[in-house]
Amino acid sequence: MQDKSYLMIPGPTPVPPSVVAAMTAPMFGHRSEDFQAMHKEIIGKLQKLFQTQNEIYVLTSSGTGGMESAVANTVSPGDKVLTLVGGKFGERWSELANQYGAEVIELNYEWGTCVDPQAVQEQLAANPDIKVVFATQNETSTGVTNDIEALGKIVAQTPALFVVDGVSGVGGIEIKVDEWNVDILTTGSQKSLMLPPGLAIQSISDKAWKKIEENKSPRYYFSLLKARKQYPKWNTAYTPAVSLFVGLNAALDMILNEGLDNVYARHKLMRDATRAAIRALGLNLMTDDAYASPVVTSVYAPEGIGADDIRKVLKQEYNITFAGGQAKLKNKILRIAHMGFADKMDIIIAVSGLEMALQKVGYPVELGAGVKAAQQVFLGVLG
């Protein structure tokens, strides 16, 4: 019998059967009326998810391609920008901005903590010529969710644009683009949106368009000005990943049919159950409850045991895949994703597998303690 596999990493994530089925539909032309009608429908659904009236562009690229598009279209050589760095993907904003010749001011904060809005306000006051502020909604490398609403309110009081990486969060964590003053929100298909990799999605504000129109950086494939020319006809500037568009349409139906409030509550419940289980096993969480991500939980490996050793047992013995740490966190943490097509029993399987793996690597664990704690959260029972 072929082993069942349990993918618990923060992207790619499991794709629902209904989405897989949708993507097996016969291919059709990307310049056809069928595609145009579907494209228009998708944008309407994305506007509900993003909570925006802005134009939204679906690019055929990875999430990082979406981030590069945001930089390439807003940063001219010599522009001063502020990047908020508390993990690997905050660092990516800095790396991209440097590639496009920006003068980068990094606001660094400890990995595993959230950005302090007051510190952002102070940087903007000290540098009134900052053109763009780059933030991360959900720092996947640490399991931290930043306060985009608070940050947006601060940046909106300045001429600077507020650009947000929502690659792992959108679809699992609430975002209100218009109300929270997000000028560009960019996300990717393979995380909370429950699709294979290959799409980046961006909303663009009127304030951002002014900057884009003045931008001096060279760009071709990622030119949003070229994309905008095709937008009224519901076409794309270049050949789109048609099957992924079909899948996106189906995935958005799932999200909207469940109801956004229910989607966000489900993710928070899975987070709370996972964190209760980790505490019951005597392991240390990387983040405080106040800013713990609803879509991924980061856990320190026990003292003297490598996180990758635990992950190896989980994969080889139980076919459960957790993510490891990145950069300075390599072999120090486990990352348990609970995003997109995930529910209560996924958490029970993940925790029970972790308990057995911990025992196999020599960590003293009371079997069932973590599972019980998770069950109590799901049942609304106090431990």
DSSP-assigned states of every residue in 242-310: HHHHHHHHHHHHHHHHH-HHHHHHHHHHHHHHHHHHHHHTTPPBSS-GGGB-SSEEEEEPPTTS-HHHH
* Short-list 338, 230, 253, CA closest to 48: 253
- The architecture in CATH of the region 17-257 reads 3-Layer(aba) Sandwich (3.40)
Give the per-residue pLDDT at 62. 96
Q: List the binding residues for substrate.
A: 335
Give the per-residue pLDDT at 383. 55
Q: Using CA atoms in the order 198, 9, 301, 346, what is the torsion angle rounded to 10 degrees?
A: 170
Task: Dump strand ranges (E) for 124-231.
Answer: 130-136, 138-139, 144-145, 161-165, 184-188, 199-204
Give the per-residue pLDDT at 381. 84
| Cα 221 versus chain centre, distance | 23
**Block residue for tokens 């006051």:** 125
Q: List the binding residues.
A: 335
Is residue 171 within 8 Å of 188, Cβ to Cβ?
no
Query: Distance (Å, rounded) from C-alpha 124 to C-alpha 76?
Result: 19
Do the strands 103-108 and 80-85 form a parallel or antiparallel pair, or are they unpaired?
Answer: parallel
Same fold for the pair 6-11+260-379 and 17-257: no
Is residue 188 within 8 Å of 167, Cβ to Cβ?
yes
The helix or strand, by DSSP H or E, that contains position 99, with its residue range, turns out to be helix 88-99
Domain map of the chain by residue range? Answer: 6-11+260-379, 17-257
Is residue 113 within 8 Å of 86, Cβ to Cβ?
yes
Local mean pLDDT, 10-residue blocks, the chain (383 residues): 86 98 97 97 98 98 97 98 97 98 97 97 98 98 98 98 98 98 98 98 98 96 97 97 98 98 98 98 97 98 97 97 95 98 98 98 97 98 69
pTM score > 0.75 for this model? yes
Please, what is the Cα angle at 107 between 104 and 111, to 5 degrees? Answer: 125
* Cα distances (Å, whole numbers) of residue 108 to 22, 24, 112, 152, 343: 43, 45, 12, 18, 34
Give the per-residue pLDDT at 1. 52
Give the per-residue pLDDT at 42. 98
* 6-11+260-379 CATH fold: Aspartate Aminotransferase, domain 1 (3.90.1150)
Give the per-residue pLDDT at 234. 97
